[in-house]
Amino acid sequence: MELDEVTISRAILASQMETMLDLLEMDVAVVGGGPSGITCAVYCAEMGLKVGLFEKKLSIGGGMWGGGMMFPRIVVQEEAKEVLDRFGIAAAAFEPGYYVARSVESVSKLTAAACTAGAEFFNLITVEDVVVRADGRVSGLVVNWSPVEMAGLHIDPLMVRCRAVVDATGHDATIAHMVARKGGDLPIRGEGFMWAERAEGNILDHTKEVFPGLYVCGMAANAVAGECRMGPIFGGMLLSGRRAAEMVAAALGHQP
């Protein structure tokens, strides 16, 4: 077979432009491609929602890639092992209630499951702002290429419309801060000290709709609530992402 470089370029452009045009309007926009964001995206997609996940970096996976201090292993507790089992992620028992999984396998299989379920990933995309109309709900995102932000270029962004936004941006709680800075009634307390038991135990209570149309999950949920951080145990991230998906689906009329 004779290969043509222009045909290769045309295939990439045509496919991605079709996807981007289709996802200008979606049900759920997940911001942040870490463990809670990917988990939220896969469960939303499996429940029939049209999902786009926006990640500012080139790679998907967030802090899960590096495990603990660049040792590519993560720990989950008993309650979260069912999520690993659900997506075929191998986990070895360490001590009662503790399971160890490979971080690369975990990210890869969650991401693959999200793709299979129909979620679309948009990496190297930065969210510059949110859209709030007269009804007071977050109803869209203002997006641009991450290299534009990194280079400090004055390039106007584009906008996507969605019925719900999930802030899964981790410690920074980026989207929640955007809403708060623009005058939204959204107090943000900031994350507390390291205390894994407390952080993991309370994260599902903090996973919620914090502003009309805006949900928080993962470490962003704890940061908004003023809760502790938990370090390289990832069970709460997975369970929080699933909980956020269930909340969004219920609000949009899609039951599990």
Annotated binding site: 36, 55-56, 63, 127, 154-156, 171, 219, 229
Tokens of 242: 């699933």
Dihedral Cα 140, 145, 147, 151, nearest 10 deg: -70
**Residue ranges for the binding site for NAD(+)?**
36, 55-56, 63, 127, 154-156, 219
In this structure, are residues 53 and 122 in contact, taking their beta carbons and an 8 Å threshold? Answer: yes
Cβ–Cβ < 8 Å for 36, 217: yes
Local structure of residue 89 (DSSP, 8 states): -
Q: How many CB atoms lie within 10 A of CB 233?
A: 18
Please report which residue ranges of 139-218 form alpha helices under DSSP H.
146-151, 174-181, 196-206
Q: What do you get for the CA distance between the two ends of the chain, in Å?
A: 46
Binding-site residues for Fe cation sit at 156, 171
Q: Which residue has the tokens 């993560």?
A: 74
Binding annotation for glycine = 229
